[in-house]
Structure 1
Amino acid sequence: MPEPDPLILTLQMDEATSSRFEDLRRRHFPAALNRIPAHATLFHHLPGGDVAGATETITALARTQAPPEVAVTGVRFTGRGVAYALDSEALSAFRARVAAAFRDDLTPQDRQGWRPHVTVQNKVAPETARALHAALAQDFSPAHFRAPGVLLWRYLGGPWERVATIAFGGTA
């Protein structure tokens, strides 16, 4: 029996921040490859066999987490693309709690160090990425946003299907 499609956990951004990154992604990401919205991934591969259980676990952890303040700290050149770097101690602590809850199921990619970011360009020639990085870095000014929650997705071999929107509760 094949393994169920994995789950992906991303940060939910406020509407203005999400729109800004989505606009940049639409303008700079190769159209044929742009199948998913702009996002910041917390986990690339959570077990997909028990969606209800995964949702319940993440919801219980999010319920005790105040909506974190997230800083957009810079523009990062990724070799064949460009991303905006994010920073948030509260979000990093939340991610660590989720990692502990799923520790036996994490892939090596999700066990390694986490560098939160939103990719707005990928899979282009390095010179194209360098040019965009230079342009975006020149106009960059730090920003902040408050993240209302997280989004749980099912990976479908390219596109994603949203399975849950989980709000941060702030009762901690």
Structure 2
Amino acid sequence: MRREPIIMTATMGAADQAWADGLRRAHYPADRNVVEAHVTLFHHLPGPYEGELIARTRALAREFAPPPARLSEVMRMGNGVAFRIHSPGLLAIRAMMADGLHGLLTAQDQGTPRLHITVQNKVEAATARALHAALSASFTPRPLSISGLALHRYLGGPWEPIGNWPFRGKAAAG
């Protein structure tokens, strides 16, 4: 039985993934950029429950259609920059997952997350301020394609993919 924590993310459509990865490669410190751009739904799910996590993730992806999402603003995150995501449907799907994992969630994962895509982190405050100003100057809210759910095993930095399940249902969440 594997004990490493499991991270759950929402996957983006190919064009949005390429866009976010490009920004991350350009602005994230290269020595710390060990994962692709992502939308974290849960930071630390218990590794010993991997089978249950896969089953629950697969069931949600099978039931729901891709939830509408929008990039709503450029935001500062400590010494970094991210794009805030507005998606009541994705938060509703996440809440369903959380309900099924009652008693297994860390304090961090018990609250409602601020959905975002981090494109820069762990830099000097002045560097983050400059990127925030540059990205904000040309930012316009726009749709973001959310295509599915994924699970990853946390290995102390890099992640090991467990699986990726595209949304293919008809139900609308939220």
Q: Is TM (by shorter chain) over 0.5?
A: yes
Please state if 1:72 is matched with 2:66. no
> What residue identity is the alignment partner of 1:82?
V
Using the size of structure 1 for normalisation, the TM-score is: 0.95
Residue 13 of structure 1 corresponds to 12
Using the size of structure 2 for normalisation, the TM-score is: 0.94
Corresponding residue SS for 1:105: coil
Residue 169 of structure 1 corresponds to 168
> What residue identity is the alignment partner of 1:56?
A
Corresponding residue SS for 1:58: helix
Q: Offset of 1:78 from its aligned partner?
A: 1.2
> What residue identity is the alignment partner of 2:131?
L
Deviation track 1:106-133 (CA, whole Å, cap 9, x = no partner) reads 0000012310000000000111100000
Q: Is the 2:16–2:145 Cα contact (8 Å) retained in structure 1?
A: no
4+ long deviations beyond 3 Å: none
Residue 4 of structure 1 corresponds to 3
Q: Offset of 1:18 from its aligned partner?
A: 0.4
Q: Is the 2:12–2:146 Cα contact (8 Å) retained in structure 1?
A: yes
Q: Offset of 1:64 from its aligned partner?
A: 1.3
Deviates more, 1:10-19 or 1:52-61: 52-61
Matches within 5 A, 1:2-151: 4-151=3-150
- In the comparison of the two structures, how many residue pairs are matched? 171
Unaligned residue ranges in structure 1 (runs of 5+)? none
Deviation track 1:75-113 (CA, whole Å, cap 9, x = no partner) reads 001120000000111101001000101121100000123
